[in-house]
Amino acid sequence: MKRIAFIGLGNMGGPMAANLAKGGFEVVGFDLSQAAMTALEQAGGKSASSAHAATEGAEVVISMLPASQHVESLYLGEEGLFAQLSAGTLVLDSSTIAAETARHVADAATAKGILFMDTPVSGGVGAAKAGTLTFICGGSEAAFAQAKLVLEPMAKNIFHAGDSGSGQIAKICNNMLLAVLMAGTTEALALGVKNGLDPATLSEIIKQSSGSNWTLNVYNPWPGVMEGVPASNEYKGGFQVDLMAKDLGIAMDTAISSRASVPMGSLARNLFALHAQKGNGGLDFSSLQKLFAD
């Protein structure tokens, strides 16, 4: 049985670590919140007094942290984990961060003989709990072969996007496109309703036509059209506008540094920023519908 250190037991990391424990791994977690660690213990894992303590004896380290600086701080420098981990340890960072940072951390890992992959996820808290996340991995073939075995209890899909950083690039391409789908769908539904159509009928027609997309299929943004989605629960739960705005910020940075033109994604970012500025940052991102509704 493999021993896994899991750093970052928040809304996403907590259920992910729990699923690993249920999947038969020996999981030792660390988080700044004692409540998060207690929850892991109840799910069959153990907790440690520090990130360093959690990784003692671990063959695999997984991290799920808020942003680039947390990842750099965890792994790099004299106090970082890379200074202590054995060569051959597999390190998987599932945080959504800049590809540039992921590549930089991967280089530092390689210098120590550590196998590092960026393994950001798609799917949100619901999929984290259900063990049906999509993992998008960047790194070597060898690392990917090992990573798959570890990620399985948490995953529905595990993709190998390419070299280091590729997981992050694919993730933000996906999320930028998701933002475009959501923005486009909300304004199209509003246009139809303004012109006399029923939102459920219109949704059904488009779903079965060429405008079909993930948001209409499983995440309809119009209140009352689909059961069990945030739109039918006052836009609570789901994927917050502020988190979408964070991912779009990373996407824009990537576009700027690679001199790419992404007019649709940029416009979507600005619409979500406008929506957040009006006090909706804590709502699910499908609440963009409110921007276009009368």
Choice between 62 and 276, CB closer to its own copies: 276
CA atoms within 13 A of residue 85's CA, in its CB half-sphere:
31
Choice between 43 and 267, CB closer to its own copies: 267
Map residue 113 onto helix, strand or coil: coil
Catalytic residues: 171
AA letter at 214: W
CB of 57: closest distance to its own copies in angstroms? 34
AA letter at 15: P
Q: Which two tokens stand for residue 125?
A: 């808290």
Nearest to 293 by CA among 250, 251, 231: 231
Choice between 55 and 96, CB closer to its own copies: 96
CB of 45: closest distance to its own copies in angstroms? 28
**What is Dmax (Cα atoms) for the chain?**
65
CB of 256: closest distance to its own copies in angstroms? 4
State how far the alpha carbon of 197 is from the alpha carbons of 221, 224, 287, 289, in Å.
Answer: 16, 15, 20, 16
Q: Which two tokens stand for residue 12?
A: 């996403």
CB of 230: closest distance to its own copies in angstroms? 14
Cβ atoms within 10 Å, residue 34? 9
Choice between 80 and 211, CB closer to its own copies: 211
